[in-house]
Amino acid sequence: MISIQTGDVDISRLIHDAKQRGIGAIVIFDGIVRNDDIREMELEAYEEVALHELEKIARDATEQFNLQHVDIIHRIGRLAVGENILIIVVGAGHREEAYRGSRFIIEAIKAGVPIWKKELTKNGGRWVPGEHGHGLGSLR
Amino acid sequence: MRVRVRFFAGFRELLGNEIIAEVSEGTTLPDLIHQIALKNREGHNAIFDEHGHFREYVILMRNARRIDIADAAKHIVADGDDIAVFPPVAGG
């Protein structure tokens, strides 16, 4: 499942569904709203482009690391501290491919998917700066 | 001729989410965005520098394809274009 959505997901259900013949390792990445003295986090996406880019990242990772299963669920909207922001489920034959595939996906998302985060504090809000100055490095 | 311009994140807060603009033949991409951004000085200054050039961090997309800001002036907008303007991404 590749999705941009406001609602949360049942991670145990995703793991259950990822288990299939030939899978020897599943790696879960769960990005969470950290308590950096904020009240909430607001996430915004250029949805049609972001979804297309997540699908491309999943295809690239599958091909490059011989993955057998990929889920990427990125949430948008207002999220409280402790809530899930991004869940990546990667299934592969062996742990090495699963770990590397998961890492590839999260780094590609941070580098190139048009999604933004705003930390809402008691004094207002601040946009989280991107880790990659220009962003969208892979989009052409 | 009618085009849609969308802003995201901090740019959206300053300039609005979506603007449907009537433009004349021959309007370039920078001209279009410049005209729209003039409605809010802070928004304009977030996108353009003091010489009227796009700031280096600004990202442009035309019909879901990235446009290099150095080449933006070569792009003449066309009827039905969907333009997106946004700052560096920060998902994940």
Reported in sequence order, the residue ranges of chain A that DSSP labels E, i.e. its strands, are 2-5, 25-32, 40-45, 69-75, 77-80, 84-92, 115-121, 124-127
Q: Are strands B2-7 and A124-127 parallel, antiparallel or unpaired?
A: unpaired
Residue ranges of B 1-40 with Cβ closer than 8 A to chain A: 6, 8-10, 12
pTM: 0.91
Chain B hits for A113, CB-CB cut-off 8 Å, are 89, 91-92
Q: What is the pLDDT of residues A80-100, one digit of tens each?
A: 999 999 999 999 999 999 999
Report whether pLDDT(A40) > 80: yes
Q: What is the pLDDT of residues B49-73, one digit of tens each?
A: 999 999 999 999 999 999 999 999 9
Task: Tally the C-alpha atoms within 13 A of residue A103's C-alpha that lie toward its C-beta.
Answer: 7
Report yes or no: B62 at the A interface, CB cutoff 8 Å: no
Report whether pLDDT(A21) > 90: no
Q: What is the per-residue pLDDT for A130?
A: 77
How far apart are alpha carbons B53 and A139 in whole angstroms? Answer: 22
Report yes or no: B57 at the A interface, CB cutoff 8 Å: yes
Nearest to B92 among A44, A109, A139 (CB): A109
CB contact under 8 A, B89 and A128: no
Report whether pLDDT(B1) > 60: yes
The nearest alpha carbon in chain A to B56 belongs to A134
CB contact under 8 A, B12 and A44: yes
Q: What is the per-residue pLDDT for A138?
A: 44
What does the pLDDT average to over A105-115? 96
Q: What is the per-residue pLDDT for A140?
A: 36
Chain A hits for B70, CB-CB cut-off 8 Å, are none
Instruction: Report how far apart, in Å, the C-alpha atoms of B42 and of each of A130, A140, B37, B49 are.
Output: 21, 29, 9, 11
Instruction: Read off the tokens for A30.
Output: 């769960």
Q: What is the pLDDT of residues A43-82, one digit of tens each?
A: 999 999 999 999 999 999 999 999 999 999 999 999 999 9
Over its C-alpha atoms, chain B yields an Rg (Å, rounded) of: 12
| N-terminal to C-terminal alpha carbon distance within chain A | 24
The shortest C-alpha distance from B26 to chain A (Å) reads 24
